């Protein structure tokens, strides 16, 4: 039986945050965040995740080149999680033209503020610069007004609607739309 190689996301440092590859030691914290009401109610699946489910998921994604997962750190403290996945079977994150992002800020002190944009900017900038991606696509619950507003501020446009609002973001639009956000996040931070 062929041994599958471990897929490791790159470490990304930008916009006052560090995105470090998800590790097995992060699973308890990740599950705690994911099972919190604040995060869970916005997810496609709102069921609680068990430790066994989380471990099985981690084993699967650890060898899957169609997705990459990071822990978001701010001032050295884990505050959330972000990821990218390919929407087309058989593609890899590195070679895909379209990626689907995911993000949640798990620590309550950092939810709903400008910091939430930093990991997205860091991840998108990296993906646009180092991978083949030219577009991000997202599916948001129609009642998730905060996510819809967040995505519009990044430059996403509505491309359709069914059970979800379908959004897309092209590189050129993203670059124009995020100038002000990047300027704001580039200011020196307070210690």
Banded model confidence at residue 77, pLDDT cuts 50, 70, 90: very high
- Rounded to an integer, what is the distance from CA 149 to the centroid of its chain? 16
Task: For each of the domains in the chain, give its residue range(s) and CATH number, in order of start.
Answer: 12-185 (3.40.630.30)
Higher-pLDDT residue of 154, 107: 154
Which DSSP string do the residues of 45-74 spell out, in sequence order? --SPPPHHHHHHHHHHHTT-TTEEEEEEEE
Helix axes 27-35, 51-61, angle to 10 degrees: 120
* Mean pLDDT of the region 80-108: 91
**pTM, entire model:** 0.88
Q: What is the arithmetic mean of pLDDT over 166-184?
A: 94
**Strands laid side by side in the 98-105 sheet:** 12-14, 17-21, 67-74, 77-85, 98-105, 135-140, 165-170, 157-161
Q: Are 119 and 17 in contact (CB under 8 A)?
A: yes
Q: Which of 31-35, 41-45, 119-123, 165-169 has the lowest mean pLDDT?
A: 41-45
Helices within 86-144 (DSSP H only): 117-130
pLDDT attached to residue 44: 63
Nearest to 9 by CA among 55, 77, 66, 47: 66
> What pLDDT sits at residue 186?
82
The closest alpha carbon to 9, from 64, 68, 58, belongs to 68
pLDDT at 136 over 80: yes
**Of 120, 42, 50, 107, nearest in space to 80 by CA:** 107
Q: What is the mean pLDDT of the chain?
A: 88
């Amino acid at each position: 039986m062929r041994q599958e190689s471990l897929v490791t996301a790159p470490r990304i440092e930008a916009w006052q945050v560090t995105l470090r590859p998800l590790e097995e030691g992060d699973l308890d914290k990740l599950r705690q965040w994911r099972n919190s009401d604040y995060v869970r109610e916005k997810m496609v699946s709102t069921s609680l995740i068990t430790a066994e489910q989380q471990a099985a998921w981690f084993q699967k994604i650890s060898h899957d080149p169609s997705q990459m997962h990071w822990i978001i750190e701010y001032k050295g403290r884990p505050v959330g999680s972000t990821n990218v996945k390919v929407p087309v079977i058989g593609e890899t994150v590195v070679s895909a033209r379209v990626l689907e992002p995911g993000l949640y800020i798990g620590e309550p002190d950092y939810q709903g503020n400008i910091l939430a944009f930093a990991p997205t900017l860091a991840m998108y900038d990296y993906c646009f610069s180092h991978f083949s991606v030219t577009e991000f696509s997202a599916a948001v619950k129609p009642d998730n007004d905060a996510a819809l507003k967040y995505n519009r501020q990044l430059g996403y446009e509505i491309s359709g609607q069914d059970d979800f609002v379908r959004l897309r973001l092209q590189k050129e639009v993203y670059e124009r739309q995020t100038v002000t956000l990047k300027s704001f996040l580039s200011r020196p931070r307070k210690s």
